[in-house]
Structure 1
Amino acid sequence: MTRSENRFHVGRRSLLAGVAGVGTSAALPAVAAQAAPGASVSAESAAARRYPSNWPDPEFYGLADTRLDLWPREDNSFVLPLELRPRDKERGVVWIRDTYVNCFVVGGRPLYVATGTTRVPGLGAAAPWNDGIFVWTSRSLKGPWKLADTTGIRPGAEKGKVWSPEFVDENTASRTVVAPWQEYWYDDRFGKRGHAWAPELHHFRGKWYIVACTGDYAKKVGSFMLVSEGGPEGPYRLVEGNLRKPFGDPVTGGPSSIEPGAYHHIDGGLYSEGDDAWLVLHNNLYAKFTDDMEDIVTTTNLPTFQQRPYSPEPYLEGAYVFKHKGKYHLVHAAWNRASINADGTTRHAYDVPATGRVQYQYDMIVAVADRFEGPYSQRYTAGVGAGHNNFFADHNGDLWATYFLNPAFGYYSNSSRIDEAAVPGVVRLEWTGPENNRLYVQRRK
């Protein structure tokens, strides 16, 4: 689930050694002023000193914070040792984008799950096609991480692959695994086309759900949901609301690789609280699921989160909602673009593309609210280079975010850093307390 309250904590706290990170860090400002000798200290001020402070917001709303304390580093993060598939062995680490990790309690024990966008051998990206969705599981965040055991479902097939357009032959009159709009197809421009991007895996009311999307080369682009008839390994089928199309209405625009009217909202996710669940859609929409979880209640003109957009608002991706200590945290991915100010200094901001603006980092930005739908606070930079991710609590209640370090553009596309990119990374989070209510990448003390 996407909240941290009321979690079942198991075992003793684990100390996780850093395996992979970037950069060094500047010193943090003091968290709180010390009381003068002889001065009395109230319970409130003593409690405040237990939490790290919020950093001041930039004077212009939309500027990005690039301080190295907000980067995944060796002291606050590591790369998950996911079991390698044959395609991964030369690299030595799984190539993955949109890394998703979560922890659920199943049968009284913690079960960690991991998934994300992967590519096929021979392609440099997960386009114009990939071969579906892979899942890994573990009893501990630090491993061992094993591919989900799908051998009993598809003997002889690649282990860990829980859904793929190639599973279309498993469709029956009463059970759809792959809808016609999700199937592979071919054209003269790109050849083979079709894929699954940005999957999330959720355990809700005793069942396993995957919410994912077809990408920019599919017959129809948009978000869909699968439900398992077994465990996290499947077998999965498509929910009824997606038999003919993705969730929601078609939207204007989209890349030239798709037909007009075929583009829907991507990056679908699931937020659950109690017995209720909502679809969260890229990048500002949501809808409640029906009681049977086969569709969304409102299928057209979906409601929007009450946000404070930048001016102008750039293209945002990967909307995700996480609840912690009674507050809702709305997470987005945004490109931090670098440009030069009139005085020659560098400007880093969540700008729209323009001449002279260069993609620098794919950041994690967050806003906070008292209610799921908002109104949400101003956004702030919570992690540099950590965009398109999710928050989760481990079985001890400690908070983490995922990251993958975007290899497509910016800092990690450089040939000297590309080997660090597209990885299944996790980074510790710190909470700034009940008064300030922000979640940052764990900064140096």
Structure 2
Amino acid sequence: MTDSNKRLTVDRRSLLAGAAGLLGTAALPATAAQANTSMKRYPSNWPDLEPYGLADTRLDLWPREDNSFILPLELRPRDKELGRVWMRDTYVNCFVVRGRPVYVATGTTRATGIAGAAPWNDGVFMWTSPSLRGPWKLVDTTGIRPGAEKGKVWSPEFVDENRPGRMVVAPWQEYWHDDQFGKRGDVWAPEVHYFRDKWYIVACMGDHSHKVGSFMLVSEGGPEGPYRLVQGNYDKPFGDPVIGGPSFILPGAYHHIDGSLYTEGDDAWLVLHNNLYAKFRDDMEDIVPTTDLPQFQQRPYAPEPYLEGAYVFKYGGKYFLLQAAWNRTSTNADGSTRYAYDPPGTGRAQYHYDAVVAVSDTFEGPYSKRWTVGVGAGHNNFFVDHGGQLWATFFRNPRFGYWADPSRVADTAVPGIVRVEWTGPKGNRLYVQRRNH
């Protein structure tokens, strides 16, 4: 998550197909365009769809050839057959290093020979670049692990690096085997953050892990590591166990997934996918203990579906709460198609994994009604480039719906970015860059 006031971190068949040791990182300044907004003309807000909970499917909100592209990330040996990096939950941010912009990219990737990111994958990879267009290079981890795969900054296989007083991989994060799935253990949705002169990775152990939930790593060097686990995750993910997840998850193993980090000034918060957040201790080794985690003040849909990938982004003095929601189709009484953020149900089919957002004057809320910020752009993040342009990431979810169609699935799981527009200090909305607005 980014406080951008302090740092910058279709034609449906023609949709796009497809520096190690960074020290002295400083925040990117707010642009002059943000500081002087009184004379600028801004695009207008679209009227809210009624009833609340309908999904906006207009092609203006799709990542298209004219507003997006796929990052040309350096390929690993496993990527060469596909010709690009297979990535879900794409994350990108921008920092200034010694006066120059440095971009960081990561996401959920898959291991060689595995169709997706489960039942196991082989860790977190990271790329950096001096610009969005590249060259995007894997961070140089060869000085940390000579002979190991370049760019891999953390993995369950690093368990042998544990030492007294320094844990890299906790027992609940290690690989394991069973008769149903074989090898198990997957890490999802990593994010990279720079806070108080230290590099952090926030990620989630996935559904096939001993315990499912969010954790944080801190680097003892640059963005390439070496990373260790924070003390609060030695025994478990953040927070208490909750009910949820697939039936094969053992009782008590499921915690709060899709953890993210929001920082402002000298303070930091963990943001979780199910309407929760927590303040970090001053030493960043754990969250502040509390009986119950506090909740964002949101305006839920009725009924409220399952939401994922919560992310808070500050821009123009406002807080934007970004979440991923499945847009499901059903049939209206007149026979027309209904597109809405409905829970699963009879006659409802998953169509697009959208990004929805709400705005507030404060971090905790109350937040406004949500609106569709990007069609098919769910589980993403916002960031500002070194020139002041707003962007969002996207990946095209291959699991269900539009992008799961056999004619399109080859163009899914991409490290994509799309330009975002702000409707100004009066409108205070963000949208994927629309046409003619």
- The TM-score, its normalising length taken from structure 2, stands at 0.93
Question: Can you list the C-alpha shifts for 1:380-423, whole angstroms capped at 9, x where unaligned?
Answer: 00000000000000111110000000000010011111121100
Shift of 1:22: 6.0
Task: Tell me the CA shift for residue 8 of structure 1.
Answer: 7.2
SS at 1:407's partner residue?
A: coil
- Following the alignment from structure 2 to structure 1, what is the Cα–Cα distance between the partners of residues 353 and 251? 28
Structure 1 residue 301, shift from structure 2 partner: 1.2
**In 2: Cα distance, 1:275 partner to 1:183 partner:** 33
| TM-aligned CA distance change 1:168 to 1:8, over 3 Å | closer
Matches within 5 A, 1:33-182: 50-182=41-173
C-alpha deviation, 1:425, in angstroms: 0.2
Q: d(CA) in 2 for partners of 1:187 and 1:204? A: 39
- How many angstroms does 1:298 deviate by? 2.8
Aligned with residue 250 of structure 1, among 222, 241, 250: 241
Deviation at 1:109, TM superposition (A): 1.7
The runs of 5 or more residues in structure 1 that have no matched partner are 10-19, 25-45
Counterpart of 1:355 in 2: which secondary structure? coil
- After superposition, residues 198-209 of structure 1 pair within 5 angstroms as 198-209=189-200
Counterpart check, 1:426 vs 2:430: no
383, 403, 406: which one aligns with 1:412: 403
Which residue of the partner structure matches residue 362 of structure 1?
353
Cα drift, residue 108 of structure 1? 1.9
Structure 2 residue 281 is matched with structure 1 residue 301? no
4+ residue runs over 2 A deviation: 6-9, 20-24, 46-49
The alignment partner of 1:337 has SS state of: strand
Say whether residues 1:346 and 2:329 are aligned partners. no
What is the match of residue 331 of structure 1?
A: 322
- Tell me the CA shift for residue 6 of structure 1: 3.8
Structure 1 residues 194 and 270, CA gap change in structure 2 (3 angstroms): same
**1:4 touches 1:397 (CA, 8 Å); kept in 2?**
no
The code of the aligned residue for 2:92 comes to V
- Tell me the distance in 2 between the aligned counterparts of 1:260 and 1:143: 45
Kindly tell me: are residues 7 and 254 of structure 1, through their superposed partners in 2, closer, same or farther at Cα, counting changes over 3 Å? Answer: closer
Could you tell me whether the CA contact under 8 Å between 1:147 and 1:159 is conserved in 2? Answer: yes
Counterpart AA for 2:5: E
Distance between the aligned counterparts of 1:253 and 1:365, measured in 2?
A: 22
Contact 1:249 1:299 in 2 (8 A): no
The reply on whether 1:212 has 2:195 as its aligned counterpart is no
Q: Which amino acid is 2:143 matched to?
A: G
C-alpha distance in 1 between matches for 2:164 and 2:351: 49
Q: Distance in 2 between matches of 1:336 and 1:283?
A: 18
Mapping 1:279-298, distance limit 5 Å: 279-298=270-289
- SS of the residue 1:201 aligns to: strand
Q: Which amino acid aligns with 1:353?
A: P
Percent identical residues: 76
The aligned counterpart of 2:376 is 385
Q: Which runs of 5+ in 2 are unaligned?
A: 16-36
The match for 2:254 is 263
Q: Match for residue 33 of structure 1? A: none
Corresponding letter in the other structure for 1:5: N
SS in structure 1 at match of 2:3: coil
SS at match of 2:2: coil
- 1:87 is matched by which residue type in structure 2? R
Aligned amino acid, residue 257 of structure 2:
I
Q: 1:22 touches 1:74 (CA, 8 Å); kept in 2?
A: no
Q: How many angstroms apart in 2 are the aligned matches of 1:118 and 1:307?
A: 32
CA distance in 2: counterparts of 1:344 and 1:48, whole angstroms: 47
For the residues of structure 1 that align with 2:290 and 2:257, how far apart are their CA atoms?
Answer: 15
Verify the 8 A CA contact 2:8 2:384 in the aligned structure 1.
no
Distance change in 2, residues 1:22/1:305 (3 Å): farther
1:435 aligned counterpart, secondary structure: helix
Change in 2 beyond 3 A, CA 1:132/1:359: same
TM-score for the superposition, normalised by structure 1: 0.91
Partner Cα distance (1:147, 1:22) in 2: 31
CA distance in structure 1 between the aligned counterparts of 2:100 and 2:8, rounded to whole angstroms: 9
Offset, 1:107: 2.2
- Answer yes or no: is the 8 Å Cα contact 1:48–1:433 preserved in 2: no
CA pair 271-342 structure 1, distance change in 2 beyond 3 A = same
What per-residue deviation string (whole Å, max 9, x for no partner) do you get for residues 60-96 of structure 1?
0000000000000000000000000000001111000
The CA deviation string for residues 199-257 of structure 1, in whole angstroms up to 9 with x for no partner, is 00001111000000000010000000000000110000000000000000100132112
Alignment check: 8 A CA contact 1:194 1:215 kept: yes
Partner of 1:184: 175
Q: Do the aligned residues in 1 keep the contact of 2:202 with 2:217 (CA within 8 Å)?
A: yes
Instruction: Tell me which amino acid in the other structure corresponds to 1:255.
Output: P
- The match for 2:3 is 3
What letter corresponds to residue 327 of structure 1 in structure 2?
Answer: K
Does the CA contact (< 8 Å) of 1:21 and 1:78 recur in 2?
A: no
Q: Which has the larger radius of gyration?
A: 1
Counterpart amino acid of residue 71 in structure 1: W
Tell me the distance in 1 between the aligned counterparts of 2:408 and 2:150. 30
Residue type at the aligned position of 1:4? S
1:3 Cα deviation after fit: 1.6
Match of 1:42 in 2: none
- Native 8 Å contact 1:319 1:333 kept in 2: yes
d(CA) in 2 for partners of 1:127, 1:390: 23
Structure 1 residue 300, shift from structure 2 partner: 4.2
Q: How many residues align?
A: 414
Conserved? CA contact 1:22–1:72, under 8 Å: no
- Take 1:47 and 1:232, find their aligned partners in 2: how far apart are those partners? 38
Contact map agreement 1:248 1:299 (CA 8 A) in 2: no
Q: Secondary structure at the match of 2:383?
A: strand
Q: What is the RMSD computed on CA atoms of the aligned residues?
A: 1.6
Which string of whole-angstrom CA distances, capped at 9 and with x for unpartnered residues, describes residues 281-311 of structure 1?
1121101111110000135410000000001
For residues 170 and 251 of structure 1, the distance between their equivalents in structure 2, rounded to whole angstroms, comes to: 31
Whole-Å Cα distance in 1 between the matches of residues 43 and 417 of structure 2?
20
